[in-house]
Every structure is written in structure tokens, then in C-alpha cells.
Amino acid sequence: MAMTVSKCHQNGQDCHERTDQSGLGRCLVQEVNADSPEQRKGKSKENGITVQLPATGRNTNIIMSLTALTSAYRLRTLCRLQRIQGRMMSSQVDSGVLLEKVGCAGVITLNRPKALNALNLPMVQHIYPQLKKWESDNETDIVIIRGAGGKAFCAGGDIRAVTEAGKVGDPLAEDFFREEYTLNHAIGTCRKPYIALIGGITMGGGVGLSVNGRFRVATEKTLFAMPETAIGKTDQLLQLLGGWGAQNHMSGDDVVSRGKECRKERLRFLLGLFPDVGGGYFLPRLQGQLGLFLALTGFRLKGRDVQRAGVATHFVESEKVPTLPGCSKVRLSLSCCWCEVRAAGARSTIPELEKELVDLKSPSAEDVFRVLDSYQNQSALGADKPFVLEQHMSDIDRLFSSSSVEGIVQNLKADGSEFANTQAKTLSRMSPTSLKITYRQLQAGAALSLQDVLVMEYRLSQACMRGCDFYEGVRSVLIDKDQNPKWNPSTLEEVSEESVEQCFSSLGEKDLTF
């Protein structure tokens, strides 16, 4: 661990900053030159150090008055405190998530920017207990969750690890889904206003971390989809990231590299699965048959359309939403001083929205709503363009209103329009079993509570672990990489109602409980 002393970019004063092996830099103290004892007394709080030990789950404040100490003693004290903090933060850094208290807010930062903040089990295990603690903490009024790096909120979950565990009977195949869904339930029932800033790619596990909460804020960079039933083709992934990358000025090589990273991170949308993490609850509650359409086709929504569809509650231009730069040379803590943010090259992304949220005094959900509304009203980007599916909403309601997936496919083929033909072709590439499970999941979920939906989805996740399409999807994408999965059964007609019904059967004492 190294200590540097440099001029603060914010006010020109000396700024002690440490850098540990994690690459985390933090402005720990700013020296204030008081002209009188009265001034020094008034600034004693500024001259103190508050060190938070987030990894322990306990907020421990060590406040020391440094007014009368020599500079040398200050430096030694800072080094000791930094060593303590560095050790206690190491488990958070290793787990890929930062948990901090900023003002009235508990802040969760998904901190794996190189992996598009893909969700793994250690991240879930760190977030859940802290969320429950903040919920019962009288000094925490709101919870904010965001992704580092600016390219993704969270692009999915670690499915290959689950697959490998399932093949050998390792309990990870149960633990991952059980703990992830438990976290989704905690988010959905959190008594404090929960605000998800979903800038960038938001899919799979990232959807569960956001849509189950009270507030979801999309930006023009948001890319949302629930394409778990989709065939795992690399060209689909690169097409998805290519459009998003062009919007965000990524080079072709960067898009390909990002696609490879996504594949390594085992994103769910590469496989034949079902839209879980509460998808069975929120998708049927979208307008008309829109939720079923999104679930079966994996259609992608971008920017303001995410809010228009009802997935996000608000749309705010990204310049008003904070961004932590994601690069290998610097990783930032959310509570760092803005001299550090500017030094990392983030001068243009002023965190106006987040600052106003954390500065609220004992805010209610209505207070948060008013703040988000005010920022949305100031965001004119894309307001003049219609909803991407506006001209097709009546078609979606008509074509996807059927008592079976086979009926939907027949409707699409009989319609013959370009839109219908595109959707029919898309469905023909999906896992037939996944399509039928997804249809039944959403039909049932429309009448269930979030808790009951998650219990149902846990049963489905374990059924996928017992089935063959899940492993075939992994084989075709991650092992043999032939991008040509052989679904079994291979047609909708061959998937019996009995086999689908079995996927929804109780697991007895192994059922998910809350």
C-alpha cells in the first residue's frame, strides 16, 4: 500500500491519498489552514477522519481530531487507518461489489466493469445481508444500486459455474438460484425506497437486481432484454453489443472483445432457459401482451423505450446520472472526494441526481418520486421519437393472445406481415421446452405474489438443472462452440404437457422459503 500527497483538484489543498493492491484510491483527509482557534474548532469535523469498515457488515467510525497533531504523526496515523480499511475492504473488492453509506443512502456498486458487472454468488452473498441491515437502520433512508464502468448495470449471471456444478451434483447449482432469488425477494419487499440506476446493459441477473425494486432509472445508454429462451449464437451476442457499442463509440475490436468477455461470464441469454429473477411477476403486469412478447422473443428495448414499456419507472439523461469510470488503472469508491473522480477522467459526468438523492432529509418514497420526476422532466433526449413498438402494439396483443405457444406460432405464420414473420423466425430458433415453460410461467405469475413467483421459478431452475436443453446450450456455446444446439425435444409439438407440468412440481423440503 502506498501513500501519496498531492494537491486536491477540488480546492487546491493538500490531499492525502492511498492506493492499495485493489487499485482503490481514496482522498482520506484534506488539510485546512484555519486562521484562528475558533475557525479550527469549527472545522474540527473536517479535520477528522471517518473510516468505514464495510466488509464486516458493521459501520465503524474512527474519528480523530488532528488539529494539534504534527504532520508526521498525521501521516503515520493515516497509514495505520488505511491499512485497517484496506484489509476490511478486500473481501468486497474480491467479491466484485462495494457497499457504502453516503449521506442518507446505502449505496451498492456492482464493481466488475471488465465483466460488465456480471453477477456471481459472492456478490449476492455480500449484498443481501447489507441490504437487510440498511432496511432496519434508522439512519439509512434509501438504497441506491448502480454498476461501475458506464457500459453495463449488470449483464447477467455466472451460469457456466452453475452448469458444471449441476453435472456433478454440487450444491452450487441449488445455492446460486436460492440465494439470488432470496435477494430478489428482499429487493421487492424492501421497506426503504430502492433506486436502481440501470445505465448500460441490463439483462438476466441485472434485471432481478432492478425491476423488483420501487424505482428504476433508465438512461439513453440502457439496453434491456429478457432473452433467456434464445438460442445461444455468438453472432446474436455481437449484434446486440454491436448496436450498443456503436451508440457508445466502441471500436469493432472492443465490441468483439466485450462479446468474448460476456461469453466467458456465462450470461443467461446465451442459453435455453426461462426469464427468471421475478420475470414471472413483472412481465405479465406490463401493458397487454407486451410482457409475453418480450419473454418469448427476447426483444431488446433501448433508452427511453425501457421506461415507455414500463420496465423502468423513469428516464434520465446519463449526464445527470453518476458514472464510475471502469478501467484497469483506477477503481473508485463511491464516497471518494470529487478530486479523485476528476483525476480519473470523469469530470463530464457530474452526479447531479445521486447527490440530490443522498442529500434528502428523511425522504419518503414520494420525496424520491418527486426528485426523479423533476430530472425526467428535464430530459428531452428521444422524447420526440415514438415508442419502438408503438405501431405493433395492437399486433402484439392480437398475435400473442393464444392459449398455447403453438397457437401463437400459428397466428404469426397466418398473419404473414414482415413483423409477424420476423417473430416467427425468432421463435423457431428457441428451445421448444423453454418456450412452453416460459408461457406457462407468465400465465401463472399473473395471479401470484412476487414471493410465490420466486418459489415457482426456483422449482423451474432446478428442473432446468435436471433437463437436457440447458446443458446442450452450454455445450454448443461454451464447450464445442458450434453454435448449433440440438434441442430435445426439437419441436413444440413434441413437448408434452406432462413434462411441462413436472417442471412446476413442488420440491418438498427443498422448496425455496423466505
Host H or E run for residue 331: strand 331-332
Question: Over the stretch 183-207, which tens digit does the pLDDT of each residue have?
Answer: 999 999 999 999 999 999 999 899 9
Can you tell me the distance from the alpha carbon of 367 to that of 356, in angstroms, rounded to the nearest whole number? 11
Q: Are the CB atoms for 271 and 160 separated by under 8 Å?
A: no
228 labelled catalytic: yes
Question: Over the stretch 455-507, which tens digit does the pLDDT of each residue have?
Answer: 999 999 999 888 888 888 777 776 787 878 889 999 999 999 999 999 999 99
- Nearest C-alpha neighbor of 13 from the set 36, 30, 34, 27: 30
pLDDT at residue 482, as a whole number: 80
157 labelled catalytic: yes
- What's the whole-number mean pLDDT along residues 203-213? 95
> The C-alpha cell of 426 is what?
425468432
12 labelled catalytic: no
Question: Over the stretch 93-134, which tens digit does the pLDDT of each residue have?
Answer: 566 999 999 989 999 999 999 889 989 999 999 999 999 999
Our CA dihedral for 218, 220, 221, 224, rounded to 10 degrees, sits at 50
Mean pLDDT across the chain: 76
Domains identified in the chain and CATH numbers? 1-91 (no CATH), 92-377 (3.90.226.10), 390-510 (no CATH)
Question: Over the stretch 17-36, which tens digit does the pLDDT of each residue have?
Answer: 333 333 333 333 333 333 44
In which band, very low, low, confident or very high, does the pLDDT at 156 lie, cut at 50, 70 and 90? confident
pLDDT at residue 488, as a whole number: 92
265 labelled catalytic: no
Can you tell me the distance from the alpha carbon of 446 to that of 460, in angstroms, rounded to the nearest whole number? 16
Amino acid identity, position 118? A
Q: Which of 25, 157, 213, 259 is catalytic?
A: 157
Question: Over the stretch 259-269, which tens digit does the pLDDT of each residue have?
Answer: 444 443 333 43
Chain Cα centroid distance, residue 377: 25
Q: Which of 17, 174, 180, 228 is catalytic?
A: 228
pLDDT at residue 322, as a whole number: 67
Q: Which of 20, 141, 174, 276 is catalytic?
A: 276
Q: Which of 25, 204, 205, 206 is catalytic?
A: 205
